[in-house]
């Protein structure tokens, strides 16, 4: 046998191994990175000029970039539950932040990876993903310490900067033994409202702080990937980067996200790189429910079919150019936020082929059909021109109806989360209403009753905020004008009663008994419509106390106590009111 060719081959393999071009003998690892509130069209690799995203762009250049990836819901907790479980909200049951926790019976990517011998860790950056809400199952380490949070609005935002999260993730990686493989999930919250990038990026993107936040997270992703490379793990690690949802930035009347299902908030970036992932642009529509199945296949992990039972499919074939079997596949979308927070209809929809169809089941026209919109995002990315193609719309309506029924038939048990006062305050600081939403969660099969289409009344949200702020500041003429605009919009009873109640309560604080009586009546009407709103009971109690109707005020306090755990200050105030009732003073 001639030894020279063998020696040459061995030498070549040794050199390639030293360069990281040949996989080690370790089982493959997984790095999942989720960028909160990041629009796909704000990355350079998706066409944004001067985006400040060289790390993401380089990742896209060496792997697969999916042009039409969709979240299942434009809300942090439900979207991440879909990513980690391979199932949409009708199955996993999370429809909003904070209301419920993922049931222990829902299989997660971390659980499957851990059973396959991978070390598992998560490092998250925002309170909606706290371990309290069930996503920690399967992780041996779950980093959710938000100490050092920076303040904004009223209260303190419970989040941490990307550098702190990346540092924690890097420290965990560095502690692994060389022969240990892993599943690491890193979540970066920075692009979430309010947009406050670090000074360097605030200066570079002075006219666009949202873009500054995205550029900063890109930089920090580069730090994480550089550490992965320094540890010699790049060659055998599957890297997937996506966003939980996008950000409307004023499009279609929505300031941030959660209310509507337009492309700005449901079209997300999706980049996949690593072994067996060639450089490719994939035009086929895909969903967050596909990600868990994709990652386990590429990492060589057997999930026992857990991530393909509820609509998920591995995207590995697509990444390699094989689109067979992916045509005409409906991808489910939803938001229950308008129903839970404003009493409007939920929105449900699907993306399939070139189409996106979205309906408001509770908002029905004269023909009895749910009000719906049909768009072709590829030709109309800003969704300015709803299509009137009757045949595609009716066909997609039928597909959506059947898809919902199929998903709801396998719904996981609902694990309601009872929030503490601190948790409610944390969600309030993030703009999620401090848990002051309807107490009843949506059932698996019931659509909302006759209600407004949130797409038609979305302007009510900033108007409601303006009325509260202006009246609270004593700017009653401005608040009254805003209230008149809100009434003309006709956003539904709960919103109108709340707005009028806030307006008259503010004037009542200035000494008008007539306004206090009106406020008490408006809040009584509001609580009759939606008895699960804690804040409505508290404001009704305030008006009644100022009117001297103390027993009624105490009853309202007790209703509020039934809806949420009290703070010591809350109990102290109740005890003082109780004494006033008993003494008649």
Query: What was the pLDDT predicted at 24?
Result: 55
> What is the mean pLDDT of the segment spanning 19-33?
74
Per the CB < 8 A criterion, the answer to whether 115 and 303 are in contact is: no
For residue 56, pLDDT beyond 90:
yes
For residue 37, pLDDT beyond 90:
yes
Sheet holding 280-282, edge to edge: 141-143, 119-123, 182-188, 29-35, 237-243, 270-273, 64-66, 280-282
| Domain at 459-583: CATH code | 1.25.40.10
Query: What was the pLDDT predicted at 490?
Result: 92
> Would you kindly state where each structural domain of the chain is located, as residue ranges?
32-187+221-318, 335-408, 459-583
For residue 3, pLDDT beyond 50:
no
Query: What was the pLDDT predicted at 434?
Result: 41
- pLDDT tens digit sequence for 343-387: 899 999 999 999 999 999 999 887 888 999 999 998 999 999 998
- pLDDT tens digit sequence for 520-553: 999 999 999 888 888 889 899 999 999 999 999 9
- Domain 32-187+221-318 grouped into CATH 3.40.720.10: yes
The C-alpha atoms of residue 246 and residue 215 are separated, in whole angstroms, by 15
Q: Which residues contact 81 (CB under 8 A, 6 or more apart)?
A: 87, 89, 92, 94, 102, 106, 134, 135
The C-alpha atoms of residue 487 and residue 467 are separated, in whole angstroms, by 12
Per the CB < 8 A criterion, the answer to whether 187 and 126 are in contact is: yes
The C-alpha atoms of residue 68 and residue 501 are separated, in whole angstroms, by 44
> What is the mean pLDDT of the segment spanning 426-430?
55
Measured distance between the N- and C-terminal CA atoms of the chain, rounded to whole angstroms: 107
Beta bridge partners of 159: 126
The C-alpha atoms of residue 489 and residue 492 are separated, in whole angstroms, by 9
CA distances from 403 to 293, 466, 474, 486 (A): 20, 39, 50, 36
- pLDDT tens digit sequence for 463-517: 999 999 999 999 999 999 999 999 999 998 889 999 999 999 999 998 899 999 9
Is 0.85 surpassed by the pTM of this model? yes
For residue 12, pLDDT beyond 70:
no
- pLDDT tens digit sequence for 221-261: 999 999 999 999 999 999 999 999 999 999 999 999 999 99
Q: Which residues contact 353 (CB under 8 A, 6 or more apart)?
A: 285, 327, 328
For residue 431, pLDDT beyond 90:
no
For residue 428, pLDDT beyond 90:
no
């Amino acid at each position: 046998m001639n030894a020279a060719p063998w020696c040459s081959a061995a030498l070549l393999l040794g050199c390639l191994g030293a360069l990281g071009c040949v996989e080690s003998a370790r089982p493959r690892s997984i790095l999942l990175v989720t960028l909160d509130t990041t629009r796909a069209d704000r990355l350079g690799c998706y066409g944004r000029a001067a985006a400040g995203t060289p790390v993401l762009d380089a990742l896209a250049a060496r792997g697969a970039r999916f042009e039409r990836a969709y979240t299942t819901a434009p809300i942090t907790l439900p979207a991440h539950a879909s990513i980690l479980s391979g199932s949409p909200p009708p199955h996993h049951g999370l429809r909003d932040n904070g209301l419920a926790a993922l049931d222990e019976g829902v299989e997660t990517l971390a659980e499957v990876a851990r059973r396959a011998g991978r070390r598992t860790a998560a490092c998250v950056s925002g309170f909606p993903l706290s371990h309290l809400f069930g996503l920690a199952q399967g992780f041996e380490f779950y980093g959710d310490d938000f100490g050092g949070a920076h303040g904004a609005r009223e209260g303190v935002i419970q989040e941490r900067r990307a550098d702190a999260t990346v540092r924690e993730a890097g420290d965990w990686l560095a502690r692994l033994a060389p022969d240990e493989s892993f599943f690491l999930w890193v979540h970066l919250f920075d692009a979430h409202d309010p947009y406050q990038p670090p000074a360097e990026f605030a200066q570079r993107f002075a006219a666009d702080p949202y873009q500054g936040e995205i550029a900063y997270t890109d930089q920090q992703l580069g730090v994480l990937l550089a550490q992965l490379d320094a540890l010699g793990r790049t060659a055998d690690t599957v890297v997937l980067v996506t966003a939980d949802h996008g950000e409307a930035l004023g499009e279609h009347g929505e300031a941030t996200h959660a209310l509507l299902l337009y492309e700005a908030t449901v079209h997300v970036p999706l980049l996949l790189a690593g072994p067996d992932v060639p450089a490719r642009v994939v035009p086929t529509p895909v969903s967050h429910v596909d990600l868990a199945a994709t990652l386990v296949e590429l990492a060589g992990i057997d999930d026992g079919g857990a991530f393909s039972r509820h609509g998920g499919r591995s995207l590995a074939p697509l990444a390699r150019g094989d689109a067979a079997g992916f045509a005409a596949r409906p991808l489910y979308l939803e938001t229950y936020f308008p129903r839970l927070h404003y009493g409007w209809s939920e929105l449900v929809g699907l993306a399939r082929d070139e189409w996106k169809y979205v309906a408001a089941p509770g908002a029905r026209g004269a023909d009895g059909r749910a009000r719906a919109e049909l768009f072709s995002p590829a030709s109309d990315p800003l969704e300015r021109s709803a299509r009137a193609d009757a045949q595609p719309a009716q066909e997609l309506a039928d597909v959506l109806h059947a898809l919902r029924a199929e998903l709801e038939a396998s719904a996981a048990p609902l694990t309601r989360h009872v929030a503490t006062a601190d948790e409610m305050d944390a969600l309030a600081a993030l703009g999620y209403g401090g848990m002051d939403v309807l107490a009843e969660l949506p059932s698996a099969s019931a659509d909302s009753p006759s209600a407004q289409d949130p797409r038609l009344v979305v302007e009510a949200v900033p108007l409601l905020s303006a009325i509260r702020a202006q009246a609270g500041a004593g700017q009653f003429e401005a608040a009254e004008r805003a209230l008149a605009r809100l009434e003309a919009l006709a956003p539904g009873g709960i919103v109108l009663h709340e707005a009028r109640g806030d307006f008259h309560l503010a004037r009542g604080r200035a000494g008008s008994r007539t306004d206090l009586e009106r406020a008490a009546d408006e809040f009584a009407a509001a609580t009759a419509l939606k008895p699960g709103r804690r804040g409505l009971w508290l404001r009704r109690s305030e008006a009644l106390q100022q009117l001297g109707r103390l027993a009624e005020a105490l009853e309202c306090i007790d209703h509020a106590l039934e809806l949420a755990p009290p703070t010591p200050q809350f109990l102290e105030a109740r005890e003082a009111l109780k004494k006033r009732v008993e003494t008649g003073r």
